[in-house]
């Protein structure tokens, strides 16, 4: 475990050495900030309409702001995760330092887990930054309920972890970072929209199978404030499978 932690810290620090991490953080914060302002405006307008309506309906800040806000965060990570993870192993191959790492007295899965954990810590850092927005709502006497907020954050973290697992696997396949990012993006996008394809009926007889691989469908439970054991198992299995195949790819490189 100590070895994994050392590799994870090295991976995380290497992200912040380059300006890419700061550019991504600024980009994500700007997009989320703009969208948050839009949601707050929509919530205020809806509140006024309900106040003047003869038949007011119950609504919560979680339904209008929190759910849509963190769903947007997950969509952004479809684009961001491939960019952050593209250099994980591709850079090592390009610099021809992969051989040194693979011949070191460290297990392949320790290397994979360490690099993945470093990326996941970056995703967790970005998620923690978003808590400023619910805190602002609380200061404005419109606090979100803790349960749905925790469920939404957990769901986004798991979805981000799944995207990073795809990115790490894609990076292990090539020495070209751009190719790794494109492959990861295509795969992440597929696992995101496959549920919509199944619901629209375009999947035909394979619709149930396609929906079972849908990240967005599983994430929807968390956005509703429900932590479903089946969804937890799905995300953990998805991440484990991605890291397992990454290890097998590296092992094949080690024996060549």
* Both tokens assigned to 14: 């290497």
Domain count, the chain: 1
Residuewise pLDDT in 10s, the chain (256 residues): 778 888 888 888 888 888 888 899 999 999 999 999 998 888 877 777 766 666 655 667 777 888 889 999 999 999 999 999 988 888 776 665 555 555 556 678 888 899 999 999 999 999 999 999 999 888 877 788 888 899 999 999 999 999 999 999 999 888 888 999 999 999 999 999 887 665 655 555 566 667 777 898 889 889 888 888 989 999 999 999 999 999 888 877 665 5
Spatial contact of 132 and 205, defined as CB atoms under 8 Å apart: no
Please, which residues have CB within 8 angstroms of residue 231's CB and are 6 or more apart in sequence?
A: 155, 158, 218, 219, 221, 222
Instruction: Residue 95: give the domain boundaries.
Output: 2-255
Spatial contact of 66 and 138, defined as CB atoms under 8 Å apart: no
- Residue in the block written with tokens 């292990």: 172
**Cβ-based neighbour number of residue 121 at 10 Å:** 15
pTM of the shown model: 0.89
């Amino acid at each position: 475990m100590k070895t994994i932690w050392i590799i994870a810290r090295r991976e995380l620090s290497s992200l912040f050495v380059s300006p890419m991490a700061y550019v991504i953080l600024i980009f994500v914060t700007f997009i989320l900030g703009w969208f948050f302002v839009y949601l707050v405006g929509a919530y205020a307008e809806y509140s006024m309409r309900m106040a003047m309506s003869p038949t007011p309906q119950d609504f919560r800040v979680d339904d209008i702001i929190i759910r849509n806000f963190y769903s947007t965060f997950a969509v952004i990570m479809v684009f961001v995760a491939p960019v952050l993870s593209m250099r994980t192993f591709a850079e090592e191959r390009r610099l021809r330092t992969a051989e040194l790492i693979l011949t070191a007295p460290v297990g392949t899965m320790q290397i994979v887990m360490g690099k993945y954990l470093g990326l996941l810590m970056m995703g967790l850092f970005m998620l923690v930054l978003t808590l400023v927005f619910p805190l602002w709502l609380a200061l404005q006497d419109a606090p979100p309920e803790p349960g749905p907020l925790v469920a939404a954050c957990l769901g986004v973290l798991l979805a981000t972890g799944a995207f990073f697992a795809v990115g790490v696997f894609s990076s292990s396949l090539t020495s070209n970072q751009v190719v790794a990012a494109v492959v990861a993006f295509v795969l992440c996008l597929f696992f995101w929209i496959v549920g919509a394809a199944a619901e629209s009926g375009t999947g035909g007889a394979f619709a149930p199978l396609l929906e079972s691989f849908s990240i967005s469908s599983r994430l929807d439970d968390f956005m509703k404030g429900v932590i479903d054991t089946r969804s937890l198992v799905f995300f953990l299995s998805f991440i484990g499978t991605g890291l397992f195949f990454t290890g097998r790819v590296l092992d094949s490189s080690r024996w060549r």
